[in-house]
Amino acid sequence: MKLEISLTASKEDITCIIFDMDNTLFDFVEAKTRACQAIVKHIGYGDAFELFHYFRRPGCGFEDWNNIRDYIYDIGFYSQSLYDECCKIYETEKLRAVNPYPNAISTIIELKKMGFKIAILTDAHSNNAKKRLEKTGFFPLLDAFFCADITGSSKPSHQTFLFALETLNQQPSKTLFVGDSLRRDIEPSKTLGMLTAYAAYGDRNNDIQQLSEKIVPDFVLNNISEVVDLFESVKRE
């Protein structure tokens, strides 16, 4: 399929909605924070906030267990057995703490009823993404999901968006992208001609301060349910 870039995408033409996953469908920052707290409690020493920021270091994967290894090594508690224990605790508690945002499941169900194709595009590895989507109840509602190991690239690379569009046989101008990051979600999807909705409710980096003439979403959402409102207005017009 040849993708056509359009600068005039309209909600009246939308047939597919692609959502980012973490912090768009659920609060993943909170889940990771709780997992870090559980590790610190298990060790009996350290700072959960500091450990959390190990997962945000440039050049390190945001779910890479090596972040845990580096942290317990740096605080002087490293042993292979403790490292193995902490990794297990991290994965268990992180998944336990993941819950859908209020109205998120009902929003997806309503959008499906309205006839929209629903997909997920995330930088998470497919194994981790599927676990979170199954735990939160989103997985059976999806038409497709795309992860970094499936697309071969990560956001904000255009390649990962194009892979999803081509696989879905979907034109950008007929696609709405919903995500919590202006730089990683909104800017690239809008550049490719998609309609964009910035999930400000999930932005834990306060990216809204970056709004400029260069990164301006078509819509700003304060609640995920507002996606339905966008298209309810189309039906009434």
Provide the mean pLDDT of the chain. 92
- What pLDDT band is residue 236 in, cutting at 50, 70 and 90? very low
Is 6 within the bounds of a domain? no
**Residues 49 and 153 grouped into a single domain:** no
pLDDT, one tens digit per residue, over 115-171 is: 999 999 999 999 999 999 999 999 999 999 999 999 999 999 999 999 999 999 999
Question: Rounded to whole angstroms, how far apart are CA atoms 178 and 199?
Answer: 6
- If you write DSSP's letter for every residue of 70-135 in order, what string do you get? HHHHHTT---HHHHHHHHHHHHHHHHHT--BPTTHHHHHHHHHHTT-EEEEE-SS-HHHHHHHHHH
pLDDT, one tens digit per residue, over 59-69 is: 888 899 999 99
Q: Which residue has 């998120």 as its token pair? A: 104
Q: How many domains does the chain have?
A: 2
Using alpha carbons, select from 236, 202, 171 the residue that is nearest to residue 19. 202
Q: Residue 235 pLDDT > 60, yes or no?
A: no
Please give the model's pTM, rounded to 2 decimal places. Answer: 0.92
pLDDT, one tens digit per residue, over 48-62 is: 999 999 999 988 888
**Residues 74 and 176 grouped into a single domain:** no
**Residues 110 and 85 grouped into a single domain:** no
Residue 206 confidence (pLDDT): 62
Q: Residue 44 pLDDT > 60, yes or no?
A: yes
**Residues 150 and 160 grouped into a single domain:** yes
Q: Which domain holds residue 232?
A: 11-27+101-236
